[in-house]
Amino acid sequence: MGASLSSLGTNGSTIGPGLGDIPESCVACVFLYLTPPEICNLARLNRAFRGAASSDAVWEAKLPPNYQDLLELMPPERYQNLSKKDIFALLSRPIPFDDGNKEVWLDRVTGKVCMSISAKAMLITGIDDRRYWNWIPTEESSIGCMWTGSDLGMLNLVRRFEHRKLRFHVVAYLQQIWWFEVDGEVKFPFPADIYTLSFRLHLGRFSKRLGRRVCSHEHTHGWDIKPVSFELSTSDGQQASREFCLDETEHDDTYGNHKRGYWVDYNVGEFIVSGAERKTEVRFSMKQIDCTHSKGGLCVDSVFIIPSDLKDPKRKGVLK
């Protein structure tokens, strides 16, 4: 404290060392322990902080070990001659592949790899018969999205992402069918981590009327009779499965059926990538093939594969 006071001049101005005197290399060492948003905020302090915030060594540490695989999904001219900071910014935006039916991106806080897979990339029984299924174009916002994933199949976590959009501009809408089955797979060089796979579904058909969102449940039926089975498996033998009733059997007079009218993420389970194999193949499915009753009125958007620690409800703003 005495040293600090002695550094003040007679007019109260600071004559001793300040933040601007810290060597840029020291600032860069500190930045290695901070998140990208924190680094960008501190870059506005002074020239040394701004220089350290542009250091390739700092941003190389924020990139995942397989970031070159992600770059190869894009034309070389998009990333050639870019700094590591600009590469991180580029990869934190969705990168489409597989004819635009899959997307991968980096979480902006952790730099971890996330993926979404459109219903267009899945094998859906009866999808080519318009008596059963239709493709609906949409710009639907996923405000009000719910996560559900307890072992009992009950809603255990609700989160709202205020500025998120559905990643793909088309969803599959089921009018009515007896044999409900959706299968998909992806083979990708996921970095070593623990991942959670979930299906994003919506009961009812949504649209806009006079600028307001409306939802029709004209075709919604059959989902409260038997649960839907969700499964995942990996190329190294890991498996997970769960069952969920998509429609609530109890009706609340005040709030109605709280799963209807929302996008709901059904958590299927986790799988571990050790990094021992170059690529991990993940297969996933959902089915309700009891032909004693029909079911309908369901929208299928996508499958998400997200590092499990990003599901922590305390980490707001992590998912894009």
> Per mean pLDDT, which of 151-160, 250-259, 269-278 is the most reliable?
269-278
Paired residues of 8 in beta bridges: 14
Mean pLDDT of 9-20: 58
Q: Are 262 and 248 in contact (CB under 8 A)?
A: no
More confident residue, 290 or 129: 129
CA neighbor of 106 nearest in space, from 152, 49, 37? 37
Rounded distance, CA 18 to CA 8, Å?
Answer: 12
* Residue keyed to tokens 């949409």: 138
pLDDT tens digits, 77-102: 999 999 999 999 999 999 999 999 99
Q: What is the pLDDT of residue 241?
A: 96
Rounded distance, CA 105 to CA 319, Å?
Answer: 10
Q: What's the whole-number average pLDDT of the chain? A: 82
Q: What is the pLDDT of residue 259?
A: 72
Domain 101-141+166-312 has CATH 2.60.120.260: yes
Mean pLDDT of 232-244: 96
Q: How confident is the model at residue 11 (pLDDT cuts 50, 70, 90)?
A: low
Q: Residue by residue, what is the 3-state secondary structure of 284-310?
A: EEEEECCCCCCEECEEEEEEEEEEHHH
Q: What is the pLDDT of residue 145?
A: 52
pLDDT at 219 over 90: no
How, if at all, do strands 146-148 and 263-273 pair? Answer: parallel
The domain spans of the chain are 21-93, 101-141+166-312
Mean pLDDT of 59-65: 95
Q: What is the pLDDT of residue 151?
A: 36
pLDDT at 30 over 90: no
Rounded distance, CA 29 to CA 35, Å?
Answer: 13
What is the secondary structure of the chain as a DSSP string? Answer: -HHHHHTB-TTS-B-S--GGGS-HHHHHHHHTTS-HHHHHHHTTS-HHHHHHTT-HHHHHHHS-TTHHHHHTTS-GGGTTT--HHHHHHHHTS-EEETTTTEEEEE-TTT--EEEEEEGGGSEETTTT-TTTEEEEE---B-TT-EEE--TTS---EE---TT-B-SSSEEEEE--BSSEEEEEEEEE-PPSEEEEEEEEEEESEEEEETTEEEEE-TT-BSTTTSPEEEEEEETTS-EEEEEE-SS-SS-BTTTB-TTBTSEEEEEEEEEEE-S-SS-EEEEEEEEE--TTS-BB-EEEEEEEEEEGGGG-TTSTT---
What is the residue type of 202?
Answer: H
More confident residue, 168 or 255: 168
pLDDT at 5 over 50: no
* Residue keyed to tokens 């952790």: 110
More confident residue, 148 or 246: 246
Is-above-0.75 flag for pTM? Answer: yes
pLDDT tens digits, 107-116: 999 999 999 9
Q: How confident is the model at residue 1 (pLDDT cuts 50, 70, 90)?
A: very low
